[in-house]
Amino acid sequence: MRYISTRGEAPALGFEDVLLTGLAADGGLYVPESLPHFSLEEIRSWRGLSYSELAFNVMYPFVDDAIPADDFRKMLDETYSVFSHKAVAPLVQLDTNEWVMELFRGPTLAFKDFALQLLGRLLDYVLEKRKQHVVIMGATSGDTGSAAIEGCRRCEHVDIFILHPYERVSEVQRRQMTTVKGENIHNIAVRGNFDDCQRMVKESFGNQSFLGGKTQLAAVNSINWARIMAQIVYYFQASLALGGPDRSMAFSVPTGNFGDIFAGYLAKKMGLPISQLVIATNRNDILHRFMSGNKYEQHQLEHTLSPSMDIMVSSNFERLLFDLHGRDGQAVKKLLEDAAKGPVSIEDYRWRHARKLFDSDAVDDKSTCDTIREIHEQNEYLLDPHTAIGVRAARNCRRDSSVPMITLGTAHPAKFPDAVAESGVTVKPQLPAHMADLFEREERYTVLDNNIAGVQEFISKHWKNA
């Protein structure tokens, strides 16, 4: 499989290079040149497969020439055996035809484990083969960082530097990052917000001279194609569990950087019958505003009860814009350069097409709390604030009650005890056993100013062979 950039000017790459590159040289994101397409008959034949067998079938076309099939199978078996539920992504029923898919049974209790447990293994496999080393630099609003650190802690050929906004992630999230031991793990708390962190990472990828040419950066944010790829699988899993592909499904996806829902869009293009995809945002609602009014405009960042979705711009949205523009990289480049300066719109017929693909809703903190409380009262089931936004948006946007509506459960409620308390539910969500002593573990992190030179100097001094 070949991968091309959404801005049309960077060279096409194979899977291995895309894995290691992150952002394309022209500032774009890599996408597959073409998508595999599965017939209903083929998808039907996957009923009853284990999660990792299904993952192999869905993902191998993207990987094929880079990794022998047996090695990839083994990697997937290892990746999904660390999840704490045999079904890996179990479904919980909320109401008639209404479900939550629990994607938080991995080591760090958020859906990001699905991709990052795999990414760590993929990176080490490829780097071992190439006798190469990389420095991972990533920004996190909370969950990416811990999942990336957990996914890469045993990698021999990787140093990992994670930037998080100082005092802007929940204590559980912070501790999950800062208590992991390992010479190759470095946590940086930046005196700024998530977008400041993300900007520094983007700029560093654009100019890596601070590393002195001795190593290169690799990305763990969802600009890395491998993350999107791994997230396609669970859409197939949910559908097969509920009678697909012989009936279509609706999904509601708590959305920040547009990675998780973009994976759902791809699943649909690959042949999975999906009749509705709901973009569920919090008050950082650039995507909802675009979907409702064809205006793509940055607003001030709001801090909400769902911090993992607190973003001003959604980086993966570029991948959708590329498709909406008939894969014309020049048009995407121009649009995003304009968008950096002020509000932009796209041609009306393109926007109407986007509205056929997605519904959207923005849910504020009050409504998030109401939903947590309501579901707890009705089902004795605790939602985390991100999943609650998904459930609320699913109910608000639902079109056809005969179609199963599946909300992606993106995090475990114990990661966000403050939001649960604020909702008025008095039951305290409990951390699973493997994390029960999280608050006693020793933390390690460095606080740095919101200044790229200082951050780059820290990295250049602290990676393994510096």
Ligand X SMILES: *Cc1c(COP(=O)(O)O)cnc(C)c1O
User: Which are the catalytic amino acids?
Assistant: 112
Q: Which of 125, 166, 258, 296 binds ligand X (CB under 6 A)?
A: 258
113 binds ligand X (CB under 6 A): no
CA distances to 54, 88, 258, 313 from 237, rounded to whole Å, are 7, 10, 20, 29
Shortest Å distance, C-beta 207 to ligand X: 25
Kind and range of the H or E element at 247? Answer: none
Number of neighbouring beta carbons within 10 Å of residue 76: 24
Q: What sign for the dihedral angle of Cα 290, 293, 298, 300?
A: negative
254 touching ligand X, by CB under 6 A: yes
By CB under 6 A, residue 256 contacts ligand X: yes
Tell me how many degrees the CA angle 458-461-466 measures, rounded to the nearest 5.
150
Closest CB to ligand X among residues 142, 404: 142
Stretch that binds ligand X, among 255-263, 329-337, 356-364, 375-383 (CB under 6 A): 255-263
Whose structure tokens read 């995407």?
332
Of 46, 107, 52, nearest to 75 by C-alpha is 52
CB 382 within 8 A of CB 429: yes
- Return the SS3 of 223: coil
- Closest C-alpha among 134, 143, 141 to residue 161: 134
Q: Is 105 in the site for ligand X (CB under 6 A)?
A: no
Cβ of residue 438: shortest distance to ligand X, in angstroms? 17
Check residue 264 for interaction with ligand X (CB under 6 A): no
Closest separation in Å from C-beta 123 to ligand X: 20
Minimum distance from residue 280 beta carbon to ligand X (Å): 9
Q: Choose one: 4-12, 82-90, 120-128, 256-264; the region binding ligand X (CB under 6 A).
A: 256-264
Site for ligand X in 199-238 (CB under 6 A): 222
Separation CA 436–CA 160 (nearest Å): 25
Q: Site map for ligand X, 38-57, x if CB under 6 A?
A: --------------------
Stretch that binds ligand X, among 26-34, 41-49, 155-163, 248-256 (CB under 6 A): 248-256
Q: Closest distance between ligand X and the C-beta of residue 311, in Å?
A: 7
Footprint of ligand X on 115-154 (CB under 6 A): 143
* Using rule CB under 6 A, residue 284 touches ligand X: no
Contacting residue, 105, 112, 157, 288, with ligand X by CB under 6 A = 112
> For residue 7, what are its two tokens?
């801005």
Interface pick for ligand X out of 386, 394, 414, 435 (rule CB under 6 A): 386
Task: Based on the shown chain and the rule CB under 6 A, indicate whether residue 110 belongs to the binding site for ligand X.
Answer: yes
Torsion of CA 419, 421, 426, 428, to 10 degrees: 70
Is residue 195 within the footprint of ligand X (CB under 6 A)?
no
> Using the rule CB under 6 A, which residue among 255, 284, 360, 456 binds ligand X?
255
How many beta carbons lie within 10 A of that of residue 181, not counting itself? 9
In angstroms, give the least distance from the CB of 148 to ligand X: 11
Q: How far apart are CA 80 and CA 82, in angstroms?
A: 5
Site string for ligand X, 399-438 (x = CB under 6 A): -----------xx---------------------------
Do 217 and 101 meet the contact criterion of CB atoms below 8 Å apart?
no
- For ligand X (CB under 6 A), the number of binding residues is 16
Which one-letter amino acid corresponds to residue 442? E
Q: How far apart are CA 379 and CA 373, in angstroms?
A: 10
The identity of residue 407, as a single letter, is T
388 in contact with ligand X (CB under 6 A):
no
Residues 6+ positions from 344 with CB-CB distance below 8 Å: 295, 296, 297, 335, 338
CB of 375 to ligand X, least distance (A): 16
**Touching ligand X, residues 305-334 (CB under 6 A):** 308-309
Kindly tell me which residue out of 257, 282, 284, 360 binds ligand X, with binding defined by CB under 6 A.
257
Q: Please identify, among the stretches 13-21, 257-265, 342-350, 456-464, the one whose residues bind ligand X according to the rule CB under 6 A.
A: 257-265
- H helices of 207-258, in order, are 225-241
Which of 345, 361, 412, 313 has the alpha carbon at shortest distance from 92? 412
Residue that has been written with the tokens 């997230």 in this structure? 231
Q: Cite the beta strand spans of 196-307 per DSSP E.
A: 216-218, 249-254, 274-281
160 near 217, Cβ under 8 Å?
no
Q: Is 106 in the site for ligand X (CB under 6 A)?
A: no
Whichever of 192 and 390 has its CB closer to ligand X, that residue is 390
Q: What is the smallest separation between the CB atom of 466 and ligand X, expressed in angstroms?
A: 30
Q: Which residues bind ligand X (CB under 6 A)?
A: 110, 112, 143, 222, 254-260, 308-309, 386, 410-411
